[in-house]
Structure 1
Amino acid sequence: MSTTGSAADLDRPLRADAARNRELILQTARKCFAERGISVTLNDIAHEAGVGVGTVYRRFADKDSLIEALLATKFEAMNAAAARAAEELDPRESLRLYLMGVFSFRARDRALADAIVRAGRARPSIVLERDRLEQQVATIIGRARDAGVVRPGFDARDLPILTAMVGTVADATREHDPDAWKRYAQVLVDGVLPQAEPDEMVGEPLDRDALERAMQPQS
């Protein structure tokens, strides 16, 4: 991954108009990647932001540089979610809050999985944020394990696959039922944190037409 453009952008003071353009590009890229995934191009982002392609390339040397700049904000958000969950005194509720927070993040952001994969090749400050997140999550799961409220054998390494499962549902149903993922996320959470008396499932099953649309291959 190229880091030259993003590192320079972080270190070099920007004029007010240049700073506004950079923030506009970042906000637009975040929206485009979240909605359409990592295949979005810098030209797409420039068009969506209403700026010239040259403006984008002056701030970011290539798409990898832009993605790396966004990585920092993603990990900051996930670390903040983990910190909020860790404040919950009840170990079961703490882990439930974190799981639903991550699932909600992925439901809104198609590019989350790719961002996590790229983190290992990012600049050291982002790797540190990733490691901090892993430590926070390990602590939350450890508390739940010590309290005997989490399914035996559950591990933080299970989270990426569970999150991908929720993401698949969210991507398939976003157009006609943007909250459908919550019903199936609840099933996963209850599987990780079994209850003696399970809660009633949230939402409603997809009707036949919605189910057929959701099961169509995604372009």
Structure 2
Amino acid sequence: MPSGGNPSPARRDARRNRERLLECARRAFADQGAEAALDGIARDADLVVGTLYRHFPTRLDLLCAVLEPKLRGVIDEVEAALGLEDPWEAFRGLLEVLCAAQAGDRAFGDFLARRFPGDDRTETAHREICALAQGVLERAQAAGVVRPDVTGADLLLLLWASSRVAEATREVAPSLWRRHVHLALDGFRPTNRLDLREPAWDADRLCRAMAESAKRVGRAHAGAGGD
């Protein structure tokens, strides 16, 4: 049995296949979202779908492998925003980082907008991002630069809205979403504000909405004969 040295040809082939699958999945998920067809990803990589499943037994395994590097980069950027001296600039930086990350990447938008119960990888990343965002928000509110009735759920709902603007306009105006995020930012300022007649959502209600969104997508995908 060989020990050390160069990997065997079979191992090199397996590594190349995995890299090709990840490259094709990255493009497909960014363009089509988290429900991109897995058999299409395998075809684009010039492989059979069985090879895909040997490397990534579930759709979520593949999605996590694709998103993990970007998630780490986004978390690093949010942490950098948290460290800015000016609380308003930190708050603005937070929203711009998250909105920019999902613009042009439908799968990342799906990740922010949905929950995948029972999966520790996605739940841990969600909790980390939400905790960092909450820290930025609370610091801005304590400094009096963000209205006190804004909640973490309000920020996530803004991300949902921004993702739809980015998706609808990406072919003709791929940066238009920035204008609407900046308009929304003015609504978070504490001066000359309107009374909010609709109550804010708490974390439980937001989680239920995200989970229900994932269920609707899953039912639609199953009804369309997806994998």
Cα distance, 1:176–1:16 mapped onto 2, change above 3 Å: same
Distance 2:32 2:50 in 1: 22
- 1:48 aligned onto 2:34: no
In the TM superposition, residue 119 of structure 1 has moved relative to its aligned partner by: 4.2
Check whether the contact 2:82–2:90 (CA below 8 A) recurs between aligned residues: yes
Task: Kindly provide the amino acid, as one letter, of the partner of residue 187 in structure 2.
Answer: G
Aligned twin of 2:15: 19
In the TM superposition, residue 34 of structure 1 has moved relative to its aligned partner by: 1.4
In the TM superposition, residue 91 of structure 1 has moved relative to its aligned partner by: 0.5
In the TM superposition, residue 154 of structure 1 has moved relative to its aligned partner by: 0.9
Segments of 5+ residues of structure 2 without an aligned counterpart are 1-9, 193-227
Aligned twin of 1:38: 34
**Aligned ranges 1:133-172 → 2 under 5 Å:** 133-172=129-168
Task: Kindly provide the amino acid, as one letter, of the partner of residue 55 in structure 1.
Answer: T
Check whether the contact 1:32–1:45 (CA below 8 A) recurs between aligned residues: yes
Cα distance, 1:190–1:161 mapped onto 2, change above 3 Å: same
**Aligned ranges 1:20-99 → 2 under 5 Å:** 20-99=16-95
In the TM superposition, residue 42 of structure 1 has moved relative to its aligned partner by: 0.9
**Aligned ranges 1:114-193 → 2 under 5 Å:** 114-116=110-112, 117-123=114-120, 125-193=121-189
Task: Kindly provide the amino acid, as one letter, of the partner of residue 51 in structure 1.
Answer: L
Cα distance, 1:159–1:17 mapped onto 2, change above 3 Å: farther
Task: Kindly provide the amino acid, as one letter, of the partner of residue 122 in structure 1.
Answer: D
Check whether the contact 2:146–2:189 (CA below 8 A) recurs between aligned residues: yes
Check whether the contact 1:71–1:119 (CA below 8 A) recurs between aligned residues: no
Check whether the contact 2:115–2:123 (CA below 8 A) recurs between aligned residues: no
Identity level (%): 34
1:156-189, Cα deviation, whole Å (9 max, x unpaired): 1112211111111111111111111111121112
1:68-116, Cα deviation, whole Å (9 max, x unpaired): 3335334323311211211211100001011011111121211234324
1:174-209, Cα deviation, whole Å (9 max, x unpaired): 11111111111211122224689xxxxxxxxxxxxx
Cα distance, 1:24–1:191 mapped onto 2, change above 3 Å: farther
- Which residue of 88, 97, 100 corresponds with 1:101? 97
Check whether the contact 1:120–1:127 (CA below 8 A) recurs between aligned residues: yes
TM-score of the two chains, using structure 2 as the length reference: 0.71
Check whether the contact 1:71–1:126 (CA below 8 A) recurs between aligned residues: no
Distance 2:45 2:80 in 1: 33
